[in-house]
Amino acid sequence: MDFSLIAMQLFSGIALGAILVMAALGLSIIFGMLGVVNFSHGAMFMVGAYAGLWVASLTGSFWWGLFVAPIAIGMFGMAVEFLLIRPLYGRSVDDPLLLTFGLGYVLVEAVRIVFGSDGIPFPTPSQLRGVVNLGIGYFPIYRLFVVGVVGAILLALWLLLGKTKFGLIVRAGARDPQIMRVLGVDIGKVWLLVFGLGVGLTALGGVLAAPMRTVNPEMGSLVLAEAFVVTVIGGMGSLVGSVVAGLLVGIAVSMTALIAPEMAQIVMFALMALVLLIRPQGLFGKSGVQA
């Protein structure tokens, strides 16, 4: 086990962590701000990948796909919130979870009807093909690009939520929607935008992941499991938690792959169960979370 192998393994763990963060971000935002557990998160990820594929095949450029698809699917997410999730506010906390579970089925099958059930190629954009020698090993340029985009997205989100008026309203609304209504804020509209933002980010994750994984109707189910693991470990509703948890899980999976590769997936769920039992609210979640 020479040094460069371990270093390379650590680096690929961080890169995998970035991808896990991207996959979990949308879920964490929607849960954190709305208290809604989106079980169709995996399906939205997959729909995002297909939308990116469709736009790219029409315009012939990956970049259009990367830009247009998340916005389109984000708007679709807003329609879902308005039509399906809104009637459920005020009812038991399980209802949104159950509804989105059914929605996941519908989205997967709808894509199968439109695009067929076998995988469709999504070649890596030509500028980003090839590998770069990091001295400790070869690493695909595309994955470095993805890590970069994830970093940019996190920065933008941190600024949006931390520094803007909208961000303040969203975070306050998460704390106590009743007060926000009293202060004359149309909290319904805020939730609409937040749900759209969450779904849009998930779709962006789909488009980014498409060149790495084949685009197929079932690609979402694994992402759902990964996103839950990361979101729960980080602490439901805490963005910082999702980022740290994503990197932590990525490195844990990567290091396990060195010793016992077949245990990679078990490690994820074992880590999640462990955190939930010791610190139910997750690493960064606030205790006493009743959701």
Partner 1 sequence: MTNINPIASPLASAGRAPATLATAGGWRAQLVKWRVPLSILALCLLPWVLPSKALAVNVLIYGVVCVGYNLLFGYTGLLSFGHAAFFGTGAYITGITIVHFGLPWYAAVMLGVLGGGLLALVIGALSIRTRGIYFSMVTLALAQLVYYVALQASNWTGGENGLRGFTVSKIDIFGLHINFLDPLQKYYVLMAFAGLALWFVSRILNSPFGAVIEAIRENETRARACGYNVERAKLMSFTLSGLICALAGTLSAMHLAIVPLDSLHYQTSGMIVMMTLLGGAGSFFGPFVGALAFLLMEDVFSIWTSHWQIVVGSVFILFVLFLPKGIWGALLAWRASK
Partner 2 sequence: MTDMKHTAFFPLSRRAALKGLGAGASLLAMPWIVRAQTSDVIKIGFPMPLTGPFAAEAKDQVKSAQLAVQQINDKGGVVGRKVELLVRDDKLNAGEAATRALELIENDKVNAIVGALSSAIQLATNEVTRARGMLYISISQSDSINEVKDFSKYTFHEALNPTMTTAAVAKHTFKMGARVAYLCADYAYGHEMLRGFKRAGDAIGAVTVGEILHPIGAPDYSTFIPRISAMSPDILCICNFGRDQANSIKQAVDFGLKDRMKIVVPVILHNQRLAVGPDVFEGVIGGSNYYWGMEDTVPSAKVFNDAFRATHGGATPTDYGAYGYTGVMSLLLAMQAAGGTVTDKMVASLEGLKYDVAKGPQYYRKCDHQSVQSVLVLESKKKAEMKSDLDFFKILATEPASESVLRSCAELGLPT
Choice from 228, 241, 246, 247 touching partner 1 (CB under 8 A): 228
Of the candidate spans 55-63, 119-127, 138-146, 258-266, the one that interacts with partner 1 by CB under 8 A turns out to be 258-266
Q: Considering CB under 8 A, how many residues would be counted as binding partner 1?
A: 60
Using DSSP's 3-state secondary structure scheme, residue 235 falls into coil
Supply the angle between the helices 41-59 and 62-80 in degrees, to the nearest 10.
Answer: 140
Residue 45's Cβ-side half-sphere holds a number of Cα atoms within 13 Å equal to 33
Whole-number Å distance between alpha carbons of 51 and 243: 26
| Contacting residues for 140 by C-beta, under 8 A, at least 6 apart | 124, 130, 131, 132
Return the ∠ at Cα 70 (arms to 100 and 272), rounded to 5°.
Answer: 50
- Select from partner 2, partner 1, none the partner in contact with residue 116, using the beta carbon and a kind-dependent cut-off of 5 to 8 Å: partner 2
- Select from partner 1, partner 2, none the partner in contact with residue 245, using the beta carbon and a kind-dependent cut-off of 5 to 8 Å: none
User: Nearest approach, Cβ of 233 to partner 2 (angstroms)?
Assistant: 18
User: Nearest approach, Cβ of 151 to partner 2 (angstroms)?
Assistant: 18
Of the candidate spans 20-28, 60-68, 86-94, 206-214, the one that interacts with partner 1 by CB under 8 A turns out to be 86-94
Choice from 146, 236, 239, 243 touching partner 1 (CB under 8 A): 236
- Residues 3-42: x where in contact with partner 2 by CB under 8 A, - otherwise, as a string: --x--xx--xx-xx--x-----------------------
Q: Are 32 and 232 in contact (CB under 8 A)?
A: no
- Output the furthest CA–CA distance in the chain (Å, rounded): 62
- Select from partner 1, partner 2, none the partner in contact with residue 175, using the beta carbon and a kind-dependent cut-off of 5 to 8 Å: partner 1
User: Nearest approach, Cβ of 267 to partner 1 (angstroms)?
Assistant: 10
291 binds partner 1 (CB under 8 A): yes
Nearest to 161 by CA among 208, 207, 188, 201: 201
Choice from 163, 175, 183, 212 touching partner 1 (CB under 8 A): 175
3 state SS for 62-99: HHHHHHHHHHHHHHHHHHHHHHHHHHHCCCCCHHHHHH
Chain positions contacting partner 2, by CB under 8 A: 2, 5, 8-9, 12-13, 15-16, 19, 53-54, 56-58, 60-62, 112-124, 126, 130-131, 137-140, 142-143, 212-214, 216-219, 222-223, 253-254, 257-258, 261-266
